Structure 1
Amino acid sequence: MYKFNREEYNRRMSWYVDARFGMFIHWGLYAIPARSEWGRSYEELSNEDYQKYFEEFNPVDYNPKAWAKAAKEAGMKYVVLTAKHHDGFCLFDSKYTEYKSTNTKLGRDIVKDFVEAVRVEGLKVGLYFTLLDWYHNDYPSLNDRFHPMRNNEEYNKREIDFDNYLDYMHKQIEEICTNYGKLDLLWFDFAYDDMRGEVWRATELINMVRKLQPDVIIDNRLEVSGEGYGSLAEGNPTPYHGDFVTPEKMIPPNGIQDVNGEDLIWEACVTMNNNWGYHATDKFYKPADMLIKKLVECVSKGGNMILNVGPDARGNIPKEAIERLDIIGNWMKDNSESIYGCGKSSIEKPDYGRVTQKGNKIYFHIYENSIGPLPLIGIKHEEVDLIKYLYSGAEVPISTSWVHSDYPNIVFANLGENPILPDSIDTVLEVTLKNERVD
């Protein structure tokens, strides 16, 4: 009978909670048609229809060192690559299939290159692995709402051996847990409808993974998809409960709590535009200032954010994404202390921004200036040791102006006469308290 070990769990999760910010990389054959990583499903393409992209795959600019460097310079602490996505194409040299990157014109083990490049930059290594596989003959298509061949009557007449598929899937996961050194994170995707938990032989799978990679962190999608929290949240964790919750393309309104009201560890997975894989006509990129503020929002609610890039068919991260990563990186160089190791504060969200906290450090993220001195509601005068701008270290004095004399119990910060904030995206004040706050 599985018994959840809180102490072991907290130890395993410590680096991840401290990191707060990661990069997702969705890349594969779907970068060539450039119409979404789900294109095979949307367009109901057969293996034969899709084969031309396998034969064409030759990303001449492929450079995982550039990807890893971009993540590092953006202030990210971990990177997760799609070792295999739903189309079944493997970015690693699996001995159980010919449908892999080493058999393309590229002729390289992409996962091997990736993990080496990420480790050189001092970042944590993560691999994504799909539970679905639209290429494998024994993956169910009849009555499956996602399979590309779901409406193909002739294809659905074939006999399948789902256990054979599960053996294949488990063996491939064993390969990625064995052949690429220490993995820091495994991102499975995803359980749905009646395809959940033990349908995937999940206990057997996790026992194998934990034996090979005892410290690896695993998401919760053996039980759920982007919706649903899983059994850890329900207070009755299964052996395959997952270590963190994975809301997709949204940020939980109040963070995420279990049935007892205790905060759970979670990660918002966020696209820069509207697709995970490269999409040639999707130019709806979120502005960099919005992405910075969404990262701050996640941390202020006790969560991480993993931000996606989808390299194109040549292997380049799109210029729109690079431009945003550069802006995020410049902000992080000045303000990362308000992100790394930080989390929720007992201080309520101010109307001008957000608050993150780490020990006796309170970080006020200011998105808009005030008229007159800035109120730091929730802090007492006698608690304050020092207030300063995080980006420069310059002290910010406590205001003694008569204009706020009607509010003697509120600490006001004197930001000076200039109504323009030093950083128009997010100016961060670091308030050091005399003692760590216990609320």
Structure 2
Amino acid sequence: MTTESGGWFETARFGLFVHFGLYSLAARHEWVRSRETMSQATYDRYLERFDPDLFDARQLAREAREAGMRYAVLTAKHHDGFCLFDSSLTDYTSVRAAGRDLVAEFVEAMRAEGLRVGLYYSLLDWHHPGFPVDEHHPLRGSRDARTTEDLAGYRSYMRGQITELLTGYGEIDLLFFDFTYPGMGPEQWGAKELMETVRELRPGILVNDRLGIPGDYVTPEQYQPDRPLERDGAPVRWEACQTLNGSWGYDRDNHDYKDPSQLVRMLVQSVSCGGNLILNVGPTGRGSLDPRARDTLRAIAEWSAGHARAVHGAGPSAFPPPANALYTQAGDRLYLHLLAWPFGHVHLPGLAGRVRYAQLLHDGSEITFHEVDGARHEHNNLAPPSQPPGTLTLKLPTARPDVLLPVIELFLEPVESTV
């Protein structure tokens, strides 16, 4: 099912994911409780010290907007069951632990910056007594492992919490469920009934595909599609979910960070294939971004300041890009993203007679061009054989522009009607 009101999603193209919770204090991956098979009592040492005194949702919202992000998603509840919102159904919340409803702070701050708001909700819950002890559960193999497999109570709990989230915080634009796996699927989640509850409460909301039943968009995680995604031959909305360093939660000793230029290329690749990119940050145990994450967002912000219109509202192009390049297109503007900087010229097949003006996007400086007639050689016959007829050749400056990813904006001639 695809809602009619989701057009903002394709326009936005770029979002912020925020993973924050008790695992942030452990600082060694959001699955730390499962990975280290911690008992609840052992894990509760983080609950006792949870004090997000540096969590500043307003600053985070500003940084997201400046980076070119147009929506943001917060982990309202992760697999450990700890809730960042005020729930009447459990005491295991940030409100009881630290006196702060972080979902409320996040939602208000993001809206104030003009960003759409999404919430992540884990279908797993290692704290709830009604959730079965399966292969992911921290208590697997232990003598005190719970064996409750009657999920009716847990399904009711989830519906109750989703109702709280969708009725207590104003308009929520997106809901990100996580995740379905063998043995825990649509029947166990009561996915049909849960989706009906969501649609009844927020008819225009976008819901992802991880309930195990069709949603409004699909969510490839930690890999980049290289072509538009389809289901039964029809295109689908999609969003590539990516981290800065392979971990969603704060991971102090993980320094395997992606370079900002690589992240910008991933964003452009997503848009060129008709998708979105949501980029995750994992605040520290006190709620602030670590210096590397903050520097990465600032670098992306510098690029976005001069290149936003090649992303927002843009999508795939029917024109074939040259080697080492990607196209995005918005109406009569075609954007050439140069993954490698050519020397002197770049040849664009099929664009002869189609372009009326060209410029480097970041500074608006003109790029001259000419059409190849298919017979002559360029540069007084000193160049390699000419390109095929229909090729447009751009003349580039020798020095690569000092931006993360150079973009040339091509203004296309209007297509004449054949009617």
| Shared fold per TM-score greater than 0.5 | yes
1:368 counterpart residue number:
340
The letter of the residue matching 2:393 is F
- Aligned pairs (5 A) from 1:140-289: 140-141=132-133, 144-156=134-146, 158-223=147-212, 240-260=213-233, 262-289=234-261
1:391 counterpart residue number:
362
Cα distance in structure 2, aligned partners of 1:424 and 1:161: 56
Give the SS at the match of 1:322: helix
2:79 counterpart residue number:
86
Cα distance in structure 1, aligned partners of 2:268 and 2:416: 21
1:234 counterpart residue number:
none
Change (3 A) 1:22 1:131: same
Cα distance in structure 2, aligned partners of 1:377 and 1:295: 24
The letter of the residue matching 2:290 is P
Change (3 A) 1:164 1:362: same
Give the SS at the match of 1:15: helix
Query: What CA RMSD, in Å, does the superposition of the two structures yield over aligned residues?
Result: 1.7
Deviation at 1:436, TM superposition (A): 5.3
Deviation string, structure 1 residues 52-82 (Cα, Å, up to 9, x no partner): 1111101221211111111011110000000
Q: Which segment drifts farther, 263-272 or 387-396?
A: 387-396
* Residues 208, 218 of structure 2: 8 Å contact kept: yes
- Aligned pairs (5 A) from 1:15-164: 15-104=8-97, 106-141=98-133, 144-156=134-146, 158-164=147-153
Cα distance in structure 2, aligned partners of 1:280 and 1:107: 26
Alignment of 1:292 with 2:292, yes or no, is no
Give the SS at the match of 1:165: helix
1:422 counterpart residue number:
401
Cα distance in structure 1, aligned partners of 2:6 and 2:416: 23
Give the SS at the match of 2:175: strand
Cα distance in structure 2, aligned partners of 1:22 and 1:77: 6
Cα distance in structure 2, aligned partners of 1:429 and 1:41: 48
- Aligned pairs (5 A) from 1:290-329: 290-329=262-301
Change (3 A) 1:172 1:366: same
Deviation at 1:254, TM superposition (A): 2.1
Q: Which segment drifts farther, 394-403 or 265-274?
A: 394-403
- Equivalent residue for 1:406, pick from 386, 409, 412: 386
Give the SS at the match of 1:155: coil
Aligned residues between the structures? 407
TM-score under structure 2 length normalisation: 0.93
Cα distance in structure 1, aligned partners of 2:410 and 2:58: 38
User: Which stretches in structure 1 are left out of the alignment for 5+ residues?
Assistant: 224-239
TM-score under structure 1 length normalisation: 0.89
Change (3 A) 1:287 1:25: same
Runs of 4+ in 1 over 4 A off after TM superposition: none
Cα distance in structure 2, aligned partners of 1:435 and 1:268: 33
User: Which stretches in structure 2 are left out of the alignment for 5+ residues?
Assistant: 372-377
Alignment of 1:358 with 2:338, yes or no, is no
* Residues 368, 421 of structure 1: 8 Å contact kept: no
Cα distance in structure 1, aligned partners of 2:198 and 2:415: 39
* Residues 131, 148 of structure 2: 8 Å contact kept: no
Aligned residues: percent identity?
Answer: 40
Deviation at 1:437, TM superposition (A): 9.7
Deviation string, structure 1 residues 340-365 (Cα, Å, up to 9, x no partner): 11111122242132111122211100
2:375 counterpart residue number:
none
Give the SS at the match of 1:365: strand
Cα distance in structure 2, aligned partners of 1:215 and 1:198: 25
Deviation string, structure 1 residues 151-193 (Cα, Å, up to 9, x no partner): 114424x445311111111100100000000001100001110
